[in-house]
Amino acid sequence: MSRFRIADTPFDAANLRAELLDDRVGGYASFEGWVRNHNADRAVLGLRYEAYAALAQAEGERVIGEALDKFAVLDARCVHRVGDLAIGELAVWVGVSAAHRDAAFAACRYIIDEVKARVPIWKHERYAEGDAGWLHPEP
């Protein structure tokens, strides 16, 4: 079963959350990243995510595996969109289940930070001034 996914269509975070719950879970943490209308004091009209899919899948799975080893969590998932996204659309989701909340929060933060730093996904923003720019990775 894949714990990390690249999605080219919108996905339902509630269904993903349901995959993580069982009787051992006492804490759940999630992160949702949405497309915002600005970046670095510039108006953003929308964006496009592109990925090296095979490498992104492998590295994303590696990140989640590290989180499972590093933190006392039961399970974790991450989904990242690719393609054209509009302002307000869900771009990335991370969910973590654990017996206790501290581990769930820590692993969730670790996963999103490492995915943004290491997974080969590039963001191409379209600005209100008519130009565009590529962004990746986030330090």
Judge whether 93 lies within some domain.
Answer: yes
Read off the pLDDT of residues 68-122 as tens digits, 9 standing for 90 and up.
999 999 999 999 999 999 999 999 999 999 999 999 999 999 999 999 999 999 9
Give the model's confidence band at 139: pLDDT under 50 very low, under 70 low, under 90 confident, else very high.
very low
> What is the CATH number for 64?
3.90.1170.40
Count of Cβ atoms closer than 10 Å to residue 52 Cβ? 14
With a cut of 90, say whether residue 133 has pLDDT above it. no
The C-alpha angle 46, 88, 61, rounded to 5 degrees, equals 90
With a cut of 50, say whether residue 41 has pLDDT above it. yes
Structural domain that includes position 109: 4-130
> Is residue 2 classed as helix, strand or coil in its secondary structure?
coil
Judge whether 138 lies within some domain.
Answer: no
Length of the chain: 139
- Distance of alpha carbon 6 from its chain centroid, rounded? 9
Give the model's confidence band at 130: pLDDT under 50 very low, under 70 low, under 90 confident, else very high.
confident
Judge whether 136 lies within some domain.
Answer: no
Q: Are 84 and 48 in contact (CB under 8 A)?
A: yes
- Number of structural domains found in the chain: 1
Q: pTM for the full model?
A: 0.94
